[in-house]
Structure formats: C-alpha cells, structure tokens
C-alpha cells in the first residue's frame, strides 16, 4: 500500500468526496467542485490518498487558510481524515495522520475540528495519539497536538449564538461556498422551500477563507441563519427544513409564519 499526492495534474482529483457538505437525500457523497479545489491548492491545501479502491484520504492546509472559525497561527489544520468503514479504519487513519504530522513537524502542531458525533466515535483514536481537547462550541470540539510547547493555543474565533431572534424581519440567510458539485442546486431548493413557508431568503456566497471565518457558522463553508442567528450547518431537504422550523417557538416569535407553516399549500 502506498500514498498518492493528489494534485491538479492527476486524475485522482476527481475521486475526492466533499465531506463538509453532506447529501441530504442520500448516503452517497458529493464530490468536490474541481475549481474550488484548485483554488485551495494555491493556498497550500494538500490531499494525500491511499491506493485503495474506495477513497481513503487526509486533507490539510495551513490553519491561517482554513475555511473554519479558528485561530491557530503556525499550525496545520486537518480538514478531513476519511477512511470508509469497509476498511480497517484505525490502521489506515493512523498511516494518513502520521504522514501529515511528519510532513509538518516544523509547524506549531496539528489542529482538527470534529462534530460531536465524530468526536464520540473517534475520541479514543485521537487521544491515544496525543491530541487534546482545546476548545468547544455547541456540537463541535477543537483537538490539538502541539509540537512546540511555546506556541500559542488554538481557539475558536467566533461567538456561537443559539438564541432565537425576536425581531420582525423573519429572514432566512443561506451562507455557502462553491465547495461541492451540487451545492448550487441544493441552495436553490432550500431557498424555495423556505420561501414557501413564508420567509424572505437571502443568499450569501463565501468567496475566501476570511469570509468563512467571519460567516458566523462553526462549519465555515455552509450555514443557515434565522434573522441573523445560526440554526444549522447541514444541507436540508424539504423534510429536514420542516423539522428545523418546527423546533422553533413559532407561536411566540413568528405567529404569521406559523400559520403558513401549518397550512403551507393553502390559498
């Protein structure tokens, strides 16, 4: 088994799944948008892939260029460490992670951000390899392995608000990056579903890593906001949108939208 350095010049680029933006209708993964990946290569992104039939890879970039709300100067940020369940995942993940650490041994360390489910599943794996919990947001954990004990401690660089707005704008804002091949289709679909429920919809495209860090979404490349307050980082289908809005206290905050939500197809 050997490692493949995925570049703009080899065909392996077309086989890399985009794990940040999950398909809301299927377990199948979207692929990255090729142009988006090529632009990230210019910023220092590296993708190292194993020569396995199914994609198994690690993706990392200087933390200053990460499309996540973190501050970690001099560190390397692991955006994805992915090995399909059909393989002996811990062994292969160890190979990939070790390669990243050795290649970046002159950095301050390695930073990884995990959602709660991923952290619960992989907590032992990372702790056994020297990673420590450095910071938390609701539903997210920042793990760090420091190579330089004098280096600054990484942290989340955003305030994460979950309060529901009591304003009168009732606006849904979708902030997104052109990261995956189908993002524009799902942005259009989500916007239409929210409009059918009576919301005004605003689309904001994220063009740079700074845009992503300043976006107010902990996942960086996608976020749904209700009157400026963060709701979710997941792409949603119609059912998911109805479940999301159904969790809000529409009786108090949105009486006119609650009526539309309860009777979305009435004249």
Predicted confidence band of residue 266 (pLDDT cuts 50, 70, 90): very low
Structure token pair of residue 151: 């280096």
Average pLDDT of every residue of the chain: 83
Q: Give the contacts of 160 (CB within 8 A, at least 6 positions apart).
A: 137, 138, 218, 230
Q: What is the pLDDT of residue 62?
A: 98
Q: Regarding predicted confidence, which is higher, 263 or 76?
A: 76
Q: Is the pLDDT of residue 256 over 60?
A: no
Ordered domains of the chain (ranges, CATH): 3-156 (3.40.630.30), 171-262 (3.40.30)
**Can you tell me the distance from the alpha carbon of 20 to that of 218, in angstroms, rounded to the nearest whole number?**
11
């Amino acid at each position: 088994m050997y490692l493949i350095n995925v570049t703009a010049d080899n065909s392996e680029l077309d086989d890399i799944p985009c794990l940040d933006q999950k398909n809301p209708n299927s377990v199948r993964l979207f692929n990255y948008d090729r142009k988006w990946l090529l632009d990230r290569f210019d910023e220092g992104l590296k993708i190292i892939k194993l020569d396995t039939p199914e994609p198994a890879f690690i993706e990392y970039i200087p933390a200053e260029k990460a499309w996540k709300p973190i501050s970690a100067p001099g560190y390397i940020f692991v955006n994805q460490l992915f090995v399909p369940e059909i393989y002996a995942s811990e062994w292969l993940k160890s190979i990939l992670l070790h390669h990243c650490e050795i290649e970046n041994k002159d950095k301050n360390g390695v930073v990884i951000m995990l959602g709660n489910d991923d952290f619960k599943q992989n907590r032992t794996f990372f702790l056994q390899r020297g990673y420590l919990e450095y910071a938390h947001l609701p539903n997210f954990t920042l793990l760090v392995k420091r190579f330089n004990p004098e280096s600054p401690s990484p942290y989340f660089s955003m305030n994460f608000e979950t309060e529901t707005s009591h304003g009168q704008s009732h606006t849904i804002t979708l902030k997104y990056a052109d990261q995956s091949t189908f993002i524009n289709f799902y942005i259009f679909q989500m916007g239409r579903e929210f409009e059918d429920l009576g919301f005004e919809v605003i689309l904001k495209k994220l063009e740079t890593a700074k845009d992503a860090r300043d976006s107010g979404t902990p996942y960086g490349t996608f976020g749904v906001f209700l009157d400026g307050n963060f709701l979710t980082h997941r792409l949603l289908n119609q059912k998911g949108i109805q479940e999301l809005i159904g969790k809000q206290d529409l009786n108090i905050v949105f009486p006119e939208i609650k009526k539309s939500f309860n009777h979305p197809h009435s004249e």
